[in-house]
Amino acid sequence: MSKYLDSIPSFVETIKSMKETIITNIVLIGQTPAPTFKEKRRSKVFMERLAESQVDECTTDGYRNPLGIIHGASEKKPPIFVVAHLDTPFQIDMVNYRVGVNTIKGPGILDNSLGVGILLSMPEILRKLELRFESDIVLAGVIQSVGKGNLRGIRHLIKTWPTPIRGAVCVEGVELGRLNYYTEGMTRCEIKCDITASNGMGDYHKPNPILILNDVINQILKLRLPQRPRTRIVFGQIRGGISYGKTPQDATLGFEIRSDSDRMVKSVFNDIKDITDGIGHEHDVALKITTIANANAARLNFNHPLVKSAGAVMKTLGLKPVSDASESELSIFLSNKIPAVTLGITRGKNQFHLNSSMKINPMFKGIAQVVGVLMAIDSGICDE
C-alpha cells in the first residue's frame, strides 16, 4: 500500500501550481445555471471544457449524462468512475461567483460546482502529475440528481454501463475529511393538502390546509421509531398560504424517512400513508402523499480495502477521516455492489444557500486525496 501513499503529499504543491486552471473550471461550470431537469447548458460547457483539456474521449450516455474518459494502459481492467452531480437546487437565471484571495462565493459553489470543476480539471492534473492508470478513468457529470431528480442520471448510467466497474469516487464540495462508505435507506415524500375542490362556502367554513398538516405532523410525531435499526423522520420543508389573514388554498409538507433498513423505511412510509388517508377522510379534504425520491441502504464494511485505503490516503495528507451516512450517487454504486466512497474537497459554509462560500487553499489537499484514492483502486484493492 505504501508504494503510492508515499508520493501523495508531494502532489499537493503540484496541484496548487495549477490553481488558475482549476478555479477557471470551477467558475466557468458554476456560472452556467443548471437547475435539476434543465442541465443542458451546463452539460454543454462540461463537454467543451473536457474537450479543451484533451481528454481521450468525450461523449454522453443515452440519458445525456456528459462523460469524459481518460484511457488506461490496460484494456482488460474495468473502469474507475469519478462522479459529481451536475444539477443544483437553485432556480436562478444568473450565477455570479466572486473570487477572492482565498475564497470563492456564490450559489451552488459547494453543491456542486466545486466537485464538477475538479472533474473537469482531472485530465490536466493527472497529466501534470505524470500519472497513468491501468483502468480507464470515467469522469461523469451526472444530471437529474438532487431533489425531484431522484438520482435518475446516475441510476441510468450504472444500469446501462456495458462493463463491470472497478470502483468509484463521488466528489462533493464539502467537508474536507469526510469519508462516506455507507448510505441510509431513504424515502423523500410530500404531503399536499388541497381545498380548492371543497364546497363553495366562504373561507370561514373551509378547513385550513395548514392546520390539517399540523394534525398530520402531530400524528407522525406519535409514531414509535426504533433505535435499531436506526430510523428517523426529518421534516425539511413546509409551505402554503399567501397572506396573514386568508385561509390558504393548499399547503405542502416535505420530509424524508431515513433508516439503516429499507424495510423499516417502507414500514414507516405505510404508517404515514395511513395517517394521511385517515386525516383526509375525517376532514373531507384532498390530502395526498407522494414519493419524490428514494434510495436504498447499502454499505461497505469499515474493514473494506477501499475504506481502509481511503482512510490511509487521508491520514497521509494530515486529514482525520470523519464518517457518516451519505445520500446521493454513493447509494447507487453501493446498491449495485460497486465499491465506492464519497469524499469532500474543501472547507466552506452555507452549503445549501445562495451565499455559500468555499476556501481555496484546503482544496489542493482535497484533490490530492481523490487522486490517491484513484491510485489505490487502480492498484487492485477492490478487485477481489
Partner 1 sequence: MNDNWLKSNTFHYSKFKDLNLLVAAKEQKNLSISLCLPTLNEERTIAKEILIMKSELMVRYPILDEIVVVDSGSEDDTIEIAQAYGADVYLADDIFPQLEKYKGKGENLWKALYVTKGDIIVYLDADIKNIHHRFVYALIGPLLLSDKIKFSKAFYDRPIATGKNKIRPTGGGRVTELVTRPLFSLFFPELTQIIQPLSGEYAGYRSIFEMIPFPIGYGIETSMILDICKKWGLDVIAQVDLDRRIHRNQDTKSLGKMSFAIIKTFLNRIEKQGLIDLNKNIFNEMIQYNLVKNEYQPDIFRIQAIERPPIIEIPEYREKFNIPDQILELKGPSPIDRHPIDRQI
Binding flags for partner 1, 34-73, as an x/- string (CB under 8 A): ------------------x---------------------
Least Å distance between CB 99 and partner 1? 4
Instruction: Report, in Å, the least distance between residue 247 CB and partner 1.
Output: 31
* Pairing verdict, β 80-85 and 167-174: parallel
Nearest distance from residue 202's CB to partner 1, in Å? Answer: 38
In a 10 Å sphere around its CB, with 0-12 CB exposed, 13-18 middle and 19+ buried, how is residue 52 labelled?
middle
Q: Which is nearer to partner 1, 108 or 254 (CB)?
A: 108
CA distances from 57 to 53, 125, 138, 231 (A): 11, 17, 9, 43
> 7, 14, 16, 21: which one contacts partner 1 (CB under 8 A)?
21
Say whether residue 127 binds partner 1 (CB under 8 A).
Answer: no
20 belongs to the binding site for partner 1 (CB under 8 A): yes
Q: How far is the CB of 53 from partner 1 (least distance, A)?
A: 8
23 or 189: CB nearest partner 1 = 23
* The one among 40, 98, 205, 239 contacting partner 1 by CB under 8 A: 98
Is residue 95 involved in binding partner 1 (CB under 8 A)? yes
The single residue among 92, 211, 223, 234 that binds partner 1, judged by CB under 8 A, is 92
Range 332-371, binding partner 1 (CB under 8 A): 354
- Under rule CB under 8 A, residue 28 binds partner 1: yes
Taking the alpha carbons of 119, 123, 124, 130 in that order, is the dihedral positive or negative? positive
Tell me whether the omega of the peptide bond preceding residue 175 falls within 30 degrees of 0, making it cis.
yes
| Distance in Å, CB of 351 to partner 1, minimum | 17
Nearest one of 91, 89, 100, 88 to 29, comparing CA atoms: 88
- CB of 26: closest distance to partner 1 in angstroms? 10
Is there binding between residue 97 and partner 1 (CB under 8 A)? Answer: yes
CA–CA separation, 366 and 164 (whole Å): 27
Q: Per CB under 8 A, which region of 22-30, 35-43, 247-255, 285-293 contacts partner 1?
A: 22-30
Contact 120, 46 (CB under 8 A): yes
Using the minimum distance from each CB to partner 1, give the nearer residue, 121 or 180.
Answer: 121
Q: Which residues bind partner 1 (CB under 8 A)?
A: 20-21, 23-24, 27-28, 31, 52, 90, 92-101, 107, 354
